[in-house]
């Protein structure tokens, strides 16, 4: 059974096939998202459960639309409705849901919830996000980069800011797709050593550089993410802003990268915090293509999980 739990836990050839299929499906639709005459309905008759312990805009909409475009139906469930691990064990929830649906996507906090759900489900499970990783986002990012600049293998990706779950999945992708990765941020927010080791063990050059201007020299892609979570206290937000202010992606930083370097942000963004308006709305930004490509990448992931 094909679970999509993390990029490092999925075969590299399968990942490449998903990116290629996502691109093909995207090009098979017109500019308003309507199906081309030869478009198929590979999820016809399929029911997909979308579980959200953690709130979402892009993940919810992109998965819901993707399932519907492929002829399937969705059932959207909140963590409050399911009470995962509280009213019923996660294992029992997995067993029950597997009798009703063909595929489960979960966006949750703890990685252990995802792992246990997948262990006991008899249908494929997709990681829509955990506190540690965000593989669906990075598949969309790779699709976006290759649309604009060709193969990402051998390129230099620079992450500026907090070594969070999105950063972690980028490191997994570096190992699987063969690009180099530089992290620049305060030492208290470095990505986990396990993620760095994975990429290095597979031949990717991974560097940690405290000077952001030095880090982006020769960069093909510059990426950042929000500095704070909606659940952070005011004191935590102030502390993180003080730590990260030097790592803001602004015009000066982008000018130090390659002239044709792209900028990405998974959104939502706090404009003028981690990134300036000038960069977000500037010619190097591909954030809206990146947001759209969540739809196409996830459609390919779902098809791979179901073998259709």
* CA-wise closest residue to 69 among 50, 51, 42: 42
Check 69, 137, 176, 298 and give the catalytic one.
137
Establish whether 134 is a catalytic residue.
yes
Check 8, 58, 240, 294 and give the catalytic one.
294
Establish whether 273 is a catalytic residue.
no
Check 132, 225, 248, 303 and give the catalytic one.
225
C-alpha separations of 254 from 40, 82, 224, 292 in Å: 41, 44, 12, 23
Establish whether 225 is a catalytic residue.
yes
β-pair type (180-184, 103-107): unpaired
Establish whether 167 is a catalytic residue.
no
Sign of the Cα torsion 88, 92, 93, 96 reads negative
H helical segments located in 37-164: 58-69, 79-82, 90-100, 111-120, 135-149
Check 3, 58, 134, 303 and give the catalytic one.
134
3-state secondary structure of 32: coil
Interhelix angle 165-177/193-201, nearest 10 degrees: 10
β-pair type (180-184, 125-129): unpaired
Establish whether 137 is a catalytic residue.
yes
* CA-wise closest residue to 90 among 60, 59, 111: 111
Give Dmax (Cα) for the chain.
55
3-state secondary structure of 82: helix
Check 8, 107, 265, 303 and give the catalytic one.
107
CB atoms within 10 A of CB 207: 14
Spatial contact of 175 and 201, defined as CB atoms under 8 Å apart: yes
Counting Cα atoms < 13 Å in the Cβ hemisphere of 86 gives 7
Establish whether 8 is a catalytic residue.
no
Check 136, 167, 266, 305 and give the catalytic one.
266
Tokens 């600049």 correspond to 149
For the record, the structure tokens of 15 come out as 């990942």
* Catalytic machinery residues: 107, 134, 137, 225, 266, 294
């Amino acid at each position: 059974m094909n679970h999509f739990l993390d990029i490092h836990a999925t075969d590299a050839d399968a990942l490449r096939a998903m990116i290629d299929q996502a691109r093909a499906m995207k090009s098979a639709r017109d500019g308003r998202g309507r199906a081309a005459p030869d478009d198929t309905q590979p999820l016809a008759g399929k029911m997909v459960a979308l579980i959200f312990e953690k709130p979402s805009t892009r993940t919810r909409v992109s998965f819901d639309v993707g399932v519907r475009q492929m002829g399937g139906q969705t059932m959207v469930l909140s963590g409050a409705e399911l009470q995962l691990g509280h009213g019923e064990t996660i294992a029992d929830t997995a067993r029950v849901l597997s009798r009703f649906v063909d595929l489960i996507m979960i966006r949750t906090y703890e990685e252990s919830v995802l792992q246990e759900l997948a262990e006991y489900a008899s249908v494929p499970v997709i990681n829509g996000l955990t506190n540690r990783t965000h593989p669906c986002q990075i598949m969309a990012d790779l699709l976006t980069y290759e649309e604009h600049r060709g193969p990402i293998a051998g390129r230099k990706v620079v992450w500026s800011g907090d070594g969070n779950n999105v950063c972690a999945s980028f490191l997994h992708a570096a190992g699987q797709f063969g690009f180099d990765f530089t992290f620049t941020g305060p030492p208290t927010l470095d990505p986990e050593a396990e993620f760095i080791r994975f990429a290095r063990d597979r031949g990717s050059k991974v560097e940690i550089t405290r000077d952001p201007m030095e880090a982006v020299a020769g960069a093909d892609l510059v990426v950042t993410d929000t500095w704070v979570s909606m659940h952070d206290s005011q004191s935590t937000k102030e502390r993180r802003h003080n730590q990260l202010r030097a790592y803001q992606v602004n015009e000066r930083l982008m000018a130090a990268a390659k002239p044709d370097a792209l900028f990405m942000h998974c959104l939502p963004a706090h404009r003028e915090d981690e990134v300036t308006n000038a960069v977000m709305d500037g010619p190097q930004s591909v954030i809206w293509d990146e947001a759209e490509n969540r739809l196409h990448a996830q459609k390919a992931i779902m098809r791979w999980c179901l073998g259709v």
